[in-house]
Chain A
């Protein structure tokens, strides 16, 4: 990341400068207090300084003060004392300013202007054509039939998360949904946010935002679509009828079916990786599904 390395270079420079100032400061004390030369040389040795100075906390400018003041109180020359105090106050102010600058650089976030703007070519207009004439290509990209796409779109379009609170409007919900379905419906390193961004002609951050927004909207529909239906409802009766047709009258109340499936992971997780290794020799998560009996199959 170029931003981080630039910050590091700045911080290194600031630290070096702070070290230089602190060394000068100690030099000054040494000159004004010749009796304690041996002591100051020890405190001013190379080993001690880097520990105190690069610390970004507010203690930095203060910490050199106390030993300086204690030295000064023993000084007998008034004029030299005054000038030393002045000098040290200046050094302390400088160190304080350096520390503030250090904090500022740590906090700063800079968007760098790239020399050549990224060229974008959205593939999204193709989806309309695919939906009309090549539904299998539509399915390949978004993993749902065009009708299902429209159905989901109708369900989530009214969600408040798609209302923009700023002047900048959001992408249309249909585009957000297409980005989400493409992102969520594929697997592995071929569908990183960068790949989706290139496919949709948007920025990487937009891909992440779209995925989040759609996920929020879809999860809000959870209770509407995931619930045990009423025993007397028409769909339960249809399920009973279907089971009876497949088997016999006595079995018609067995309307639920449970099974497990695995959601494969792209790679072995770094922590507790072996726990995810399943009987099919893949790294995966376990998913249990109970559903109403019906002639369709779940993929």
Chain B
């Protein structure tokens, strides 16, 4: 929709019932992160995705709530990464 939108990678071919984390494995960035992602750089993702050195996800609330610092971290992460509607 926007003229300076820049998609760098994509993964297609999975039906809707497939989980995001599994479909993500089909992208070039997930298959070959060393080549596709420049050194010392990483991807922001949501909590459905796997934690990797090149893929950073928010803290998950398992059982009890999150601490204040973790919540703050998640808040800033969502500020950076919530771009796909």
- A interface list, Cβ under 8 A from B: 143-145, 147-148, 151, 225-229, 231, 235-236, 243, 246-248, 251, 253-262, 265, 272, 274-279, 282-294, 296-299
Assembly CA distance A228 to B10 (angstroms): 11
- Please tell me if the beta carbons of B23 and A288 are within 8 angstroms of each other in the complex: yes
A298 cross-chain contacts in B, Cβ below 8 A: 1-2, 5, 7, 83-85
Q: Which residues of A contact B85 (CB under 8 A)?
A: 297-299
A254-B44, A260-B84 known; 19 new pairs, CB 8 Å cut-off, are A144-B1, A228-B36, A229-B6, A251-B80, A256-B8, A256-B44, A260-B23, A261-B84, A274-B17, A282-B16, A285-B14, A287-B10, A288-B11, A289-B9, A291-B83, A293-B44, A293-B80, A296-B2, A298-B7
Closest to A262 in B: B16
Contact B29 A258 (CB under 8 A): yes
Question: Judging by beta carbons under 8 Å apart, are B14 and A296 in contact?
Answer: no
Q: Footprint of A on B, CB under 8 Å?
A: 1-18, 20, 23-24, 26-27, 29, 36-46, 48-49, 55-56, 76-77, 79-81, 83-85
Query: Which single residue of chain A is at the shortest CB-CB distance from B3?
Result: A148
Contact (Cβ within 8 A) B15 A275: yes
24 contacts between A and B (CB under 8 A): A144-B1, A145-B3, A151-B3, A228-B9, A231-B41, A235-B6, A236-B38, A246-B80, A251-B80, A254-B41, A256-B37, A257-B84, A258-B49, A260-B20, A260-B48, A275-B15, A278-B16, A285-B16, A286-B11, A286-B12, A286-B16, A286-B18, A290-B9, A293-B44
- Report the Cα distance A32→B75, complex, angstroms: 101
Query: A147 touches which one: B3, B10, B20, B36 (CB < 8 A)?
Result: B3
Q: In the assembly, what is the distance between CA of A208 and CA of B49, in Å?
A: 39
B17 and A278 form a contact (CB under 8 A): yes
Bound CA span A256–B20, Å: 17
Which of A143, A145, A227, A256 has the largest count of B CB atoms less than 10 A from its CB?
A: A256
Contact check, B38 vs A257: say whether CB atoms are below 8 A apart: no
B18, B49, B56 — most chain A CB neighbours (10 Å): B18
Partner of B45, one of A258, A282, A292: A258
In the complex, how many residue pairs between chain A and chain B have their CB atoms under 8 Å apart? 166
Contacts of A231 in B (CB 8 A): 38-39, 41
Contact of B84 among A243, A253, A265, A297 (CB under 8 A): A297
A274 to B17, CA, bound (A): 8
Look across to chain B and name the residue whose beta carbon is closest to the beta carbon of A255: B41
Give which listed residue, A225, A256, A277, contacts B43 with CB less than 8 A.
A256
Taking a contact as CB atoms under 8 Å apart, the answer to whether B83 and A296 are in contact is yes
A185–chain B nearest beta-carbon distance, Å: 10
Q: Which residues of B contact A274 (CB under 8 A)?
A: 17
CA distance A290 to B81 in the complex (A): 11
Q: What A residues does B24 contact at CB under 8 A?
A: 258, 260, 288
In whole Å, how far is A258's beta carbon from the nearest beta carbon of chain B? 5
A296: chain B residues at CB < 8 Å are 2, 4-5, 83
A253 & B42 in contact (Cβ 8 Å cutoff): yes
CB distance from A270 to the nearest CB of B (A): 13
Query: In whole angstroms, what is the CA distance A284 to B6 when docked?
Result: 24
Residue of A nearest to B77 (CB): A247
Measured CA separation A227–B43 after assembly (Å): 15
Closest B residue by C-beta to A228:
B8
B39, B48, B80: the one contacting A254 at CB < 8 Å is B80
Known: A228-B36, A247-B80, A292-B6. A286 touches B23 (CB 8 A): yes
